[in-house]
Structures are given as structure tokens and as C-alpha cells.
Amino acid sequence: MKKSFRNLFFTVSFFMIFQSAFSQVLNNSQIISSDHWIYDSLYKLGKETKTLGFYENTMLSVGELKFYFEKIDEEKLSSSGKAVYKQVKDFLYSDSNLLPYIPFLLKDDAFKLSLNIIANPELYYKSNEDIDWSFRYCYKDNFLSLPVVLGVSDYFTIGTTPVFAKSNLGQQANDNFTNLPYKEDDFEFNFIKFSYGSAGLCFNNWGINLNINRQGLSIGNTKLGSIFYNKTFETDAYGQLNLYSKCFKYSGDIVQVDYSKYLFLHQIEFMFFNNFKLCALEGSQLCQPAELRFSIPFMFMHQFAAWDDYCRSTDVTPYAEENFCAYFGVLWEWAPIKNTRFYLIYAQNEMQTKSERNSFIGGLYPDSFGYQVGTDISLPAIFDGYWNIAVEGVYASPYLYIKHTPKASLYRVRNDNLSPDKINTWVGFPFGPDCIAGHLSFGYEKPGKWKATLGYNLIAKGQNDFSIFNETSKTNPDKDRGDYDGSEDYYSYYPPVAFNLGTKDHDQAQADALNMLPSGIIQYSHQIIVNGGYTFNKHLSLNGQALFSIVKNAKHVEGNSQNGVELSFSLTYNLF
């Protein structure tokens, strides 16, 4: 008996070491995280063949990625494209199952298992304490990750990635120099951020996938972060249904932002020809127990007029719409020229009609919207590489994502259980509302080997940010519009609320609502970025970045000019 168990142990150990070293994919229902290189590689192949796919809404299953990959004609690719094509094919059609050849345990290869250990030590340096770090938790990845994936044939998968990581508080400290936690309040309590269950089927002309995940959803492939829904948005969970074909896709998401806030999203995409894609998105955020009606596919949720259902009279509360937020977006992609992609993303959570704008109270509601436009070019070059060029512009109005109360706004705040820190994230653009930003970059990349990029960011940031949710005041009894509690502090940052409280008169509130430029003292940040990376083999890679910042009106203080250098370096080792 002991000999049998010993043989089994050595058999399993051998295949864990040997097979994982040469493969990465377990089965078709496995979910690939938003940070994976596969998405950018598919975009490169799509641009070169003028063939778009529905892969801007990440994370996606392996089966769906294969479905889009098989649309690409390898014969139309350059030598650089064929090298990327081979890299993608080798990844998607690999097999990382650790238990394929143990017939006395699993005769039909029904159960599959994949394990890995990823070490990613990082070093940092920042010359000026008055300039924030350019990243939150880490430059590239957490210090240690332990991904585990378990599959049942091709149709069901569960996966999780526990991490040993540094907390936001430790990472943002001015004297921080590494992502290795070494102090008591350095340790990240939220140590599982990528964990999912997935089920799906894929056929010749269509496929379906249903998955539930922790966080990391992203809608839109951009350079500065998606203005509609970005992967940096922290959530407790989200469930997603993807139904896709060659020319049409539907995605439905139920996002649990926290224990009392749910965001329902519906996304419908059409592919007109192979190189033109149009997508409409609608969302409803509810700060109440979840409702079934918002999860109906192909339902125009705006017709429910849910803001009325959760609205209270301004005689009782100055907020009115304090538990609901409507959300709408458009995404457009076009590849009219070989090796080039144009894109546009639009997001809004408040837009007044002409009659509403001309009404006494409706005129106090700020139009809350944002645009993101850009183009990226990948030109095949010598040594089977690419010249990459990207230009992007972003406009976010002063009250994008912001509603009458913090809980109704499109953001999340969570407490760190091991420190007094509070972590805030917007649903979309990482720099938040009240912002105008631009990006320009140029670089060379030999996929799978090395890359180098020179970039420039300009960020003009107004004063409406997370700190706006700290703005409270008591009612002005001589000017308020209701029977409010004079001893209570109310959120007073939103123009119609300020008018109801009597802290602003009608003209002041209306002027605030009509302003579409960054508000208050504008902070101007110029960032010159040089970054690069080198991959030695399947196990080891190096990445580094040097960032030089010039900040005018730093921290929104008039005349406060700061400049400094930030250096980041990472070494990534995949055991398998």
C-alpha cells in the first residue's frame, strides 16, 4: 500500500513539474485575467488583418478567445504577425493539466488541475515626497502569487490566486522601496482578488460562457484606463453572461460593488463588416437589495424610471435621488487601415434634456459625461518586431460618476482591516472625474522577447475627487427648501443639494452645474515615461520604468510647483 502511494506521489509530482513548465492553458472555460498579454496580441493580429473581435470586454474564457483567434487569416500576416500568431496559438492550444496520464485514477481525463508559483520582487525609488506614486499596489504584480485552477473537462472551471502582497497604505508610503511587506500594517488583508467559477460551451458559429468573479472586469482597450469601466475598480463580486457569435455579442453583468450596492450592466455589440464594431452599454446602480427586473437581457432599464422609485421628497431630504444612479455608454472601434485601430468610448450618468435644463430645479443638475478617443498603430518591423504608436485623449466632466450622495455615486470605498487606511476606486477612469488628459507613446517591441517605449502623459485635474465626499454642512434655516434636521451634517457638494440646503443660492448652484471645465485650482501634471522589459525564457523576465514628473499647482495649491523622478524595477519568476 505504501509503495502504491509513493508511486502515485512521484507520478503526480513528475507531471506537475514537467507539464506545467511547457504549457499554460487548462481548458476552454478557464478565465484569462485582464492584464494578460493575449489581449494586446489579438489586437495586433486584428489590426494587421483588419479583423476586429469582441475582446475589449475582459476577462474572457479561453474558448471565446479561441473563437476570435480562428477568424484571423494567418496568410495575410507579415513575418512579425506570424510570430505573434504562433505565440498566441501555442498559448491557447497548450495543456497545463497536471493529471492527464494516471488511468487508474482518471480514465477519461475528466478532472484537470493546474498550479503555479509566481515570484515578483520589485524595487522603487521616488525623489520627491510631494508627488504621489504613479501606481497603487505595485508596478507590475504582487510579491508572490499562487494561481490554482481546477477544471472538469472543457466545460467547468474554478480558479483562484492567493497573493502575498503589500497593502495600499504600505505601498503609498513616501519611503516605500519594495512590494515586499515588512512592517505590521504592510500586509494586504484582501489577499484574494482574482477568484472565479466558469462554465461554457463553444461551437463553430457561436458560444456561451457564464462566470462569477471577484474583480478585474474591464470594458475597453485603452492606454490610460477605460472611462466606462476599468479593471482598477474594486468590487466584492460580479456575475457575467457572455453570448457571442461572429457578428453579434451580448454581455450581462451583475456587479456587487459592496454589501449594499449593486450595478447592473447590459452590453450589446454589433460587428459591421470585419473591421467596424459598435457597442451600446446601459447600467443601473442600486443602493438597495438587488432587484430581478434589472437583470432582464435586452431590457432598456431606463424605462423603469427607477430614480422615481427610490426618490424621496425634498421636503424630507435634500438629496432626492440618494439610492440610484443610471449609467450609459457607447463604444466604437474601426480598423479602416492596415495595422491601425481607432476607438471611442463615451460614458454618462446624468444628462439633462432641453426642457429639464430650462426648468427651475432641473437646471441645477450637472451634465455628467466623458469621452475617450484614440488610435494605436502597430507597424511590422525588422527582427519580427513592431513599431508601436499610440495617441489618446480623455475628457471627464466635473461630475462624471458623482451623484447626490457618496453611496449613489459610481465609486467604492473599503476599509483595510489591518490598518486605518481607506481604499477608494472609481468605476471607470483611474484619474476620476473633473479631468482632461492626453497620452502619446512610441516604442519598439519584439513580442515575447523585449520591448522599449517612450511616453508622455498630460493630466489637467480639477478639485472634484474622492475628497468631495467629505464636504458636509448644516442646513441654512433661512434659505433651505424643506423641514431638515438643523443639527445634522448633510453632504453639500452636489449643486441641487446645496441649493436645497440653502448653502448656495440658485445662481451659484446653476453656475456650478453648467461649468464643464476642470473646477477650482487645476493641477497640471506632465509625465515623461521610459519603460522596457526583457524576457529571458518562459520562467524569467525583467521590467523597469523611469518616470519624470513636472507638477504645477501640486495638491491644488496655487503656485506650488514640484518635480521629481520615480524609478521602478521588477523581476518576475514563474516556477512552472
Cell numbers given for 262: 449593486
Those residues with Cβ within 8 angstroms of residue 197's Cβ, 6 or more apart along the chain or in another chain? 156, 157, 158, 211, 212
B/e letters for 343-379, b = 16+ CB within 10 Å, e = fewer, are bebbbbbbebeeeebeeeeebbbbbbbbbbbbebbbb
Question: What is the amino acid identity at position 415?
Answer: N
When mean pLDDT is compared across 2-11, 315-324, 546-555, the lowest value belongs to 2-11
Whole-angstrom distance, CA of residue 416 vs CA of residue 241: 31
Residues counted in the chain: 576
pLDDT at 311 over 50: yes
Residues paired with 281 in a beta bridge: 267, 329
Whole-angstrom distance, CA of residue 116 vs CA of residue 420: 33
Q: Which helix (H) or strand (E) holds 168?
A: helix 168-172
Give start and end residues of each alpha helix (H) in 406-541.
495-501, 506-514
Residue 315: predicted pLDDT: 59
pLDDT digits (tens, 9 = 90+) for 486-506: 778 899 999 999 999 989 999
Strands (E), 275-434: 276-286, 324-334, 340-350, 368-381, 385-396, 411-415, 422-426
pLDDT at 207 over 90: yes
Whole-angstrom distance, CA of residue 220 vs CA of residue 233: 14
pLDDT category at 379 given cuts 50, 70, 90 is very high
Which whole number is the average pLDDT over 527-549? 96
Residue 10: predicted pLDDT: 40
When mean pLDDT is compared across 368-372, 389-393, 474-478, the lowest value belongs to 474-478
Those residues with Cβ within 8 angstroms of residue 305's Cβ, 6 or more apart along the chain or in another chain? none
Whole-angstrom distance, CA of residue 425 vs CA of residue 427: 7
Those residues with Cβ within 8 angstroms of residue 540's Cβ, 6 or more apart along the chain or in another chain? 571, 572, 573, 574
* Contact (Cβ atoms closer than 8 angstroms) between residue 174 and residue 421: no
* Whole-model pTM over 0.85: yes
Whole-angstrom distance, CA of residue 502 vs CA of residue 509: 10
Question: What is the amino acid identity at position 12?
Answer: V
Other Cβ atoms within 10 Å of 145 Cβ, number: 19
The rounded mean pLDDT for the chain is: 89
Residue 1: predicted pLDDT: 41
pLDDT at 113 over 60: yes
Other Cβ atoms within 10 Å of 299 Cβ, number: 16
Whole-angstrom distance, CA of residue 294 vs CA of residue 281: 13
